[in-house]
Amino acid sequence: MLDMKYLRNNFAEVKNKLKHRGEDLSELDKFGDLDARRRELIAGTEELKAKRNEVSKQIAALKKEKKDADAYITEMREVGEKIKAFDTELKEVEENLETLLLTIPNIPHESVPVGEDEDDNVEARKWGDAPQFSYEAKAHWDIATDLDILDFERAAKVTGSRFVFYKGLGARLERALINFMMDLHAEEHGYQEMLPPYMANRTSMTGTGQLPKFEEDAFKVADWDYFLIPTAEVPVTNYHRDDILAMEDLPKKYVAYSASFRSEAGSAGRDTRGLIRQHQFNKVELVQFVKPENSYQVLEELTGNAERVLQLLKLPYRVMSMCTGDLGFTAAKKYDIEVWLPSYNDYKEISSCSNFEDFQARRAGIRFRRQEKEKPEFVHTLNGSGLAIGRTVSAILENYQQEDGTVIIPEVLRSYMGGKEVIK
């Protein structure tokens, strides 16, 4: 959520920056009238309350002198009715303002490339070389089916499309990756482990920016105002909702494993095969709460933490700086890490690392205090996938496949898989 005072004082500048996102900003034009009316009502209410206090004193003085105060009593009753009417309208205006502010995206950072869509994203760096095969490389879904380690057909029977059963060494590979990533981030990168709830309430989903705008993308629990989490970002960020943190406690760094649930509304026909776009998938998430002046340095650090996973797995990847039109609703700046997938002959997203500045913190009321008696400030929040597990499995199967149909297990994972070196 944007700072209302900043928006008021810099409206033209903010609107100009937001237009590069390519979103419909017609609702934004209502802000000026709503904000002006809110201030009028606040000023009018304060004026009426001051008048009521003055009249009340006059009534008391007249009664003390045993004089007629009926006219003043009638006047005070009328003032009270006006205050009540003003308060009712003020509440309505403030609700409309909040609803409006909740639909306005974050302001892109000045370093974000200006562009319309993914074609305008800018490559920041690349690591590793794509494998060269002397035979026709197979897609991960074919590799996994031949090895009998993934079963999409039976998952579709049990649940529906975009679900999967992991079996045997497939299940063990998934579990090995989760443990490897959690250990790496906790032991080497200094994050505190968390295992969060898999459901979040409406307030939490609003705090991180999934609601109200993207409710159709979420799975809602029938008869409950709960949602299956689309990412551990939601519960972990809201862990500190309405908190005032001490400056010496920052940064706070959490790593969380969870299942993630997404309806994939609007993605019909895209990535219909394999693990790339599932309704349910596992993910390791990195979340940080930091001082505002450190957040862009931390974005580079956090992105590097996610990259380290791919480097240790020896999977080729690139880092893309997302342009204004492909930035997402909540981020001020975002990097996508994309892993090489031979079946696509292209890179596919495996992690998004974002700096939200105070956008989420303002929605969720997460603040810190520099000194004991100083006014609290909003923290900056950041998060990133460290990594999406299913997509990592697909990358390993495709990049480590052998001509005989077997798959070499990355060396760094072998201790997590009982010393096994090959999936066959």
349 belongs to the catalytic site: yes
Does 349 count as an annotated binding residue? yes
Does 285 count as an annotated binding residue? yes
370 belongs to the catalytic site: no
* Nearest Cα residue to 31 out of 3, 58, 56: 3
Q: 162, 172, 262, 367: which is the annotated catalytic residue?
A: 262
Does 263 count as an annotated binding residue? yes
Does 232 count as an annotated binding residue? yes
For residue 271, give the amino acid letter.
D
How far apart are alpha carbons 194 and 283 in whole angstroms? Answer: 13
Distances, alpha carbon 403 to alpha carbons 342, 388, 396, in Å: 14, 27, 15
How far apart are alpha carbons 239 and 241 in whole angstroms? Answer: 6
Does 116 count as an annotated binding residue? no
Does 262 count as an annotated binding residue? yes
How far apart are alpha carbons 325 and 115 in whole angstroms? Answer: 5
CB 278 within 8 A of CB 162: yes
391 belongs to the catalytic site: yes
Does 145 count as an annotated binding residue? no
Backbone angles phi, psi at 325, to 5 degrees: -80, -10
Contacts of 396 (CB under 8 A, 6+ apart): 173, 313, 315, 407, 409, 410
Contacts of 398 (CB under 8 A, 6+ apart): 137, 138, 139, 140, 143, 341, 342, 343
Does 370 count as an annotated binding residue? no
Can you tell me which residue has the tokens 């008048």? 51
Does 260 count as an annotated binding residue? no
Does 388 count as an annotated binding residue? no
Contacts of 236 (CB under 8 A, 6+ apart): 194, 196, 254, 256, 285, 287, 383
Q: 349, 369, 377, 414: which is the annotated catalytic residue?
A: 349
For residue 409, give the amino acid letter.
I
The two structure tokens encoding residue 379: 């923290």
Name the 3-class secondary structure at 348.
Answer: strand
Does 383 count as an annotated binding residue? yes
Q: 204, 260, 343, 352: which is the annotated catalytic residue?
A: 352
Does 352 count as an annotated binding residue? yes
Q: 52, 162, 367, 391: which is the annotated catalytic residue?
A: 391
187 belongs to the catalytic site: no
103-131: string of b/e by CB count within 10 Å (b at 16+)?
A: ebbbbbbeebbebeeeeebeeeeeebeee
Q: 38, 277, 369, 414: which is the annotated catalytic residue?
A: 277
Does 354 count as an annotated binding residue? no
How far apart are alpha carbons 33 and 52 in whole angstroms? Answer: 28
Q: DSSP assignment, residue 105?
A: P
How far apart are alpha carbons 54 and 49 in whole angstroms? Answer: 9
Query: Which residues are identified as catalytic?
Result: 262, 277, 349, 352, 391
Q: Residues annotated in the binding site for ATP, as ranges?
A: 262-264, 349-352
Q: Residues annotated in the binding site for L-serine, as ranges?
A: 231-233, 262, 285, 383, 385
Q: Residues annotated in the binding site, as ranges?
A: 231-233, 262-264, 285, 349-352, 383, 385
